[in-house]
Structure 1
Amino acid sequence: MPQQIILFDINETILNLGQLKPKFKQYFGNELFLDTWFSMLLHSSTVCLTTKVETNFKDLALANLNTLAGRLDKSLTTEQRSDIISSLANLPAHDDIKPALVLLRSEGFKLVAFSNSSETLLRSQLNNAGLTDYFDNAISVESAKTFKPSQDAYQFAIKKLNTASHDVTLVAAHDWDTHGALCAGLSAAFIDRFNAQYNPTYKEPEIIGNTMGEVAVKLIESKRPNLTSENRS
C-alpha cells in the first residue's frame, strides 16, 4: 500500500500572515489592508494562470503593493516595498502547527510543503519558521509555471512525488485551494481559520476543522485503515 501523503498550503495555512499587519498599518494607515493586498495577489495569480501569463509570486506581490498604494493615494519607497516582501520569508508558524505535524508523522504520513511561493522563498519560510525538519519535502509551483488552483499545479506535485492522486490529501485554509485539489482528483481537508462560510459553489472536502490539531486527528481517523494495512504488509 503506497504511503499516504499530505500536501500543506503554506501562507495563512501553516504560517501566520497576520504578523505583517503592523507594516501595513505603518505604510498604509490600516492593518486591514493586509487582507486587501493578499486577496489582490491571489486574484492576479489566478488571472495569470488562466490567461497563461508567465510570472512569479514575488513580482505579483510587488505589483499589487504598487496598485494598492496607488488606489490609496500612497507612495511607497523601494525600501518600504522590500521591507514588506522580505517579511514574507520570516513569518512564524501558527501555534497549532508543530504539534499536529509531529502527530501526523508519528502516524506514518509523509508531509510535503506545497506553495505558490517561489522555491527560494518557500525554503526560506520553512527554515526561518523552524519547520524544515517537520517536512519530508517542499514543492513550489514555480518551475511548473502556474499557480494553484490550476489543476496543473496539483498534478505537478503528484508527478514530483511519483504517486497517485488518490494517495494525496491537500490541507489548506483557503476554500479555493481545497476546491482546486478536489477538482484535480486529490482529497482535501479544510482549516477554518477565518470563521468564514465555505464557498457553496466549491467542492467541499469531507474533513473540516477549526485547528490543525483537529484536522490532524480527523486525517488519522480517516486514513488509519490504510496505514494499518500498510504496516501489516
Structure 2
Amino acid sequence: MSAARPDVVAFDVNETLLDLAPVRAALVELGQPADLLPAVFARTLLTGFATATAGTWCRFRDAFDAALAQASPLPAADRSRVADAFLELVPHADVEPALRRLAEAGVRVVTLTHGSPGVAEAGLERGGVQALVERSLSSEVIRTWKPARSVYLWAAGVCDVAPERMALVAAHAWDVHGALQAGLTGAWFPRAERVYPQVYDPAAIVAGDLAGAVDALLALPPR
C-alpha cells in the first residue's frame, strides 16, 4: 500500500526535536570531554535495546546512568546531575515552524519517546511549542523500548487511529525502521546520522531536513 497523508504525526524526542546540548554542557562542567555524549547516548540505546530484546526492561534514566558509568569515572551523584540535564533540553530552531505547519494543516501532532516521562513536556514548554502538541507519549508506560513494533501500535491505539493513518518522524533511522514494521508511514531526516541505511526497510520519506520531512508528509495524497 502506498503512503497517504497521515491524520497523526508522531515525533521522536531526543535529538529529533530536542537539542541535547544541556547534557553535553553538564558533562563538560564536570570535567568530561565534549565529545563524550555521542558515545554515552549510543550506549544508552544499546543498553535499552539489549534489555528489551532479552525480554526484560529498564528505564531510560537507568540505562543512561549505566552507560555513563561505563564511559566515565564520574561518581553516582555527578552522573545524576548529568541525567537531570535532560529536563533542561530545548527544541532545535527548526521545530517550531515544522510543528506549526502541521497544526495549520489540521494534522494532529504527538511525541513518542522511550525517554523519561516529563522530558518532552519540559522541553516543549521551554521552547513555547507545547500548545502545538496534542500529547506526549513515553513507552515507559508499557515498559518497552522503541523500535519494538508494540510501541508504535500502542501509540496508534492511544491516538485512536489505525497504524497506516499515523506517521513517525525521526532523525534516527532505527526508529523509522521500527515504525515501518508496525505499518506506520516513516519519515527520516539527518541530524547526527548522515544517511538512511540500506539495511533497513525503505522509508516513505527521506528528507534533507525537518522542514522537508513535514512538507513531504503534507504533500502525500489523501487516503
TM-score normalized by structure 2?
0.91
Query: Deviation digits for residues 80-130 of structure 1, max 9, x if unmatched?
Result: 222211110111111111011111111110000111112233333332333
Query: Deviation digits for residues 128-169 of structure 1, max 9, x if unmatched?
Result: 333311101111101111010000111111111121010000
Which residue of structure 1 lines up, in the alignment, with residue 178 of structure 2? Answer: 180
Identity of aligned residues (%): 26
Q: What residue identity is the alignment partner of 1:40? A: R
Q: Does 1:53 align with 2:51?
A: no
> Is the 1:16–1:94 Cα contact (8 Å) retained in structure 2?
yes
| Structure 1 position 190, deviation (Å) | 0.4
> Is the 1:169–1:187 Cα contact (8 Å) retained in structure 2?
yes
Q: Which runs of 5+ in 2 are unaligned?
A: none
Query: Deviation digits for residues 177-212 of structure 1, max 9, x if unmatched?
Result: 000000111111001123512221111212122221
* Aligned counterparts, 1:23-172, within 5 A: 23-27=26-30, 29-69=32-72, 74-78=73-77, 80-172=78-170
Mapped partners of 2:56, 2:156: distance in 1: 23
Mapped partners of 2:115, 2:99: distance in 1: 20
Which residue of structure 1 lines up, in the alignment, with residue 214 of structure 2? Answer: 216
| Structure 1 position 65, deviation (Å) | 1.3
Query: Deviation digits for residues 28-85 of structure 1, max 9, x if unmatched?
Result: 532111000000001111001111212211111112111111xxxx23350x222211
Q: What residue identity is the alignment partner of 1:43? A: L
Deviating more after overlay: 56-65 vs 192-201: 192-201
Alignment CA distance shift 1:113-1:75 (3 Å): closer
Mapped partners of 1:44, 1:150: distance in 2: 14
Per residue, is there more helix in 1 or in 2?
A: 1
Mapped partners of 2:16, 2:190: distance in 1: 9
SS of 1:162's partner is coil
Name the larger-Rg structure.
1
SS of 2:112's partner is strand
> Is the 1:166–1:186 Cα contact (8 Å) retained in structure 2?
yes
Aligned with residue 20 of structure 1, among 20, 23, 31: 23
Q: What residue identity is the alignment partner of 1:8? A: F
Q: What residue identity is the alignment partner of 1:23? A: A
Mapped partners of 1:117, 1:146: distance in 2: 11
TM-score normalized by structure 1?
0.88
